[in-house]
Amino acid sequence: MSSLCLSSVLTHANLTMYQNGAPDVLPPPPASLPSINSLHISNMSYTPSANAQWYRDVNPHCWTADNVLKWISDNADSISFDASTLSLDYCAMDGPALCQMSRDDITGVFGPQLGPNLHHSLQEHKAKYELQSLSGPELNETCRLLDNFLDNLKFPLLSSIVIGQAEEVIPKRELDYGDDYELNSLTMDTLADAEYLSDNLSDSEYSSSSGSGMFSSSSLGSPESGSCESDPEFPYPLTSKVHIKSEKVESRLKRPRGRPPKTSREFSSTIYDSPKKSKHAPRGTHLWEFIRDILIHPEKNQGLMKWEDRREGVFKFLKSEAVAQMWGQKKKNSSMTYEKLSRAMRYYYKREILERVDGRRLVYKFGKNSSGWKVEELGM
DNA sequence: TCTTTGTTTCCTGTTT
DNA sequence: TAAACAGGAAACAAAG
């Protein structure tokens, strides 16, 4: 069977699931499973929404063989692994069987290249469901926010973010975010992964990968950059920079100053894309608060930002584009960049929420009209 | 419904 | 030379 056939089978399964709501267990796979030689699936037939990894919404223990197959193919795709070397026999297992396998088992079956990747991914899915069974809706919302953020990045390693793993669920601080984000239970090693990745990707690799979400396995490196300097920021696929760049090349037409008005199409798509958007955004969703909250959870921000002078409120962006992407994710704006974020930051100077720090790149200081970051305030 | 506020987007120019 | 900074201008959307 061709890869297109397998792809269409999976697409059909996706559509069925989305039309009927997401059942915990999908119908059993068709009697004649495709040859694993065709496992290298093209994602071309998926629309972005249909391409969503729906098995993420199902506990791995409940995965069917079909689910497992799709999961394997997605992971293989994500690292450009040639699945033709695999035997279908190994992929015809269901979730419970898969969950029984150790890391060594998986590596033994799927090889040193794909195996660890699969094991890592499986652990995430398992952890996610274990976590969800232990925590309340707030954390689930955080999981979704981060999941969405990472999904949108389309970096394979980013999907390995570990939420709440090995972390106690810290009681909410006195800070009243009234919001849908909370950094308490997040670890972000993977953001560092992405940064590391970007350092190893040329522009062409980047642009080609942004479409398919594929990377050569050689690009997957250790996240231990160790560097605390921000330096080469990684270009996120969804960031509009690439688009802007090509636009500049294509046409040198001068645009009018200011923000372009939304077209009717943009307007309607905004409405339909975010049906849950509440009319009244909760308080505590300001950019400076978002930044502050990253900073006051140093054990969680994993190198996104750091304090330069904790007492004085001086801080530095280490992974500026990553922070901007997180901010964009929070505001449901996939085209957020550090450039835009920093413009908003500069508006805080006038209001004395931030103070200028001259001569130092990516360094800002909280001003007298900011709050909630001081050691005394936090009772540290 | 109007106004205000807090961004967001895009731009040009400057500094590092 | 590129990245970051600075700030004007205009648009947008939530909140009051």
Structure confidence at residue A61 (pLDDT): 67
Q: Which domains does chain A have, with CATH numbers?
A: 54-133 (1.10.150.50), 287-377 (1.10.10.10)
Q: Estimate in Å the CA A282 to C1' B6 gap, whole number.
A: 13
Q: Which residues touch strand B (CB under 7 A)?
A: A 240, 244, 254-255, 257-260, 285-288, 327-328, 331, 333, 335-336, 339-341, 343-344, 347-348, 351, 358-359, 361
pLDDT of residue A102: 72
pLDDT at A377: 78
Query: In the structure, how far is the CA atom of residue A352 from the C1' atom of nucleotide B5, in angstroms?
Result: 15
The residue assigned the tokens 């360094």 is: A363
Which residue approaches C15 most closely, CA to C1'?
A: A280
pLDDT attached to residue A115: 77
CA distance A266 to A149: 21
State pLDDT tens for residues A73-84.
777 666 666 665
A112-127: b (≥16 Cβ within 10 Å) or e: eebbebbbbbbebbbb
Q: Quick one: pLDDT at residue A380?
A: 65
Residue nearest to nucleotide C10 (CA to C1'): A258
Torsion region of A284: left, alpha or beta (phi above 0 gives left; psi -120 to 50 gives alpha): left
Task: Give Cα A108 to chain centroid, integer Å.
Answer: 29
A360 CA – B16 C1', rounded, Å: 9
Tell me the DSSP string of A148-174. Answer: HHHHHHT-GGGGG--BSTT---PPP-S
Q: What is the pLDDT of residue A364?
A: 95
How high is the pLDDT of residue A320? 92
Which nucleotides of strand B lie under 7 Å from a protein CB? 6-12, 15-16
In angstroms, how far is B12 C1' from A339 CA? Answer: 14
Is the entire prediction scored with pTM above 0.75? Answer: no
Q: How far is the CA of A206 from the C1' of C13 (A)?
A: 33
Chain A residues 216 to 255 whose Cβ lies within 7 Å of strand C are 230-231, 233
Residue ranges for chain A with pLDDT beneath 50: 1-52, 54, 130-147, 149-253, 264-283
Residue type, A7: S
